[in-house]
Chains A and B, each alone.
Chain A
């Protein structure tokens, strides 16, 4: 009964490759997010989708492209991977408009670029 799931949990790849990370939530939430957590442990918002529409697109390289086929899924595709892309990527979801707007996080995908 996982609320927010991500695959894969670990991803090790060479520089220059293209990879995708998938995220699914079964909470019925309208909003989904992608975060990057670097070695300094800062959580940085990358993208936010509400009902399959992009509402936040922070300053990330255009090598990163989110895709939301439906409101329960938000996938992240990364082209031409670079060493600096190594980090843990978290997917999250929330129901915007509820009092607390609590975000529920997936388990994270640890990406290592060699």
Chain B
């Protein structure tokens, strides 16, 4: 079957760095997405990786290893507004998005 695993909840301190991991098993693979979802709001796009390596975008970076079925989202210089759920989703061979349950990130002052 198809599966996405990510931690349920993480806690970090304002100004610090946090890494949210995601492992995936899909029928074929056409890329890995990270979305941010604040409580009560819609998911918003953060990043897309289809090639191995690190993609940096400001304070957020996303990494992919296709051979390991693994990705992580790295958040630097954490701000209180980064408190949200971070959803990992893989695009399978039929271009269907397979979603993880999300990682709730709690930022403490």
Contact = CB atoms under 8 A, between A and B. Distances in A.
Chain B interface size range: 20 to 34
A43 B95 contact: no
Contacts of A108: 40-42
A96 interface: yes
Interface string B77-101: 0000000010101010001110101
B13 interface: no
Interface string A85-110: 00000100000100111111111100
A41 B85 contact: yes
B33 interface: yes
Contacts of A56: 96
Of the candidates A43, A56, A100, A107, the one having the most CB atoms from chain B within 10 angstroms of its own CB is: A43
23 contacts: A41-B85, A41-B101, A41-B102, A42-B101, A43-B43, A43-B89, A44-B99, A48-B96, A56-B96, A90-B42, A90-B43, A96-B95, A101-B30, A101-B31, A101-B95, A103-B45, A104-B45, A105-B42, A105-B44, A106-B42, A107-B41, A108-B40, A108-B41
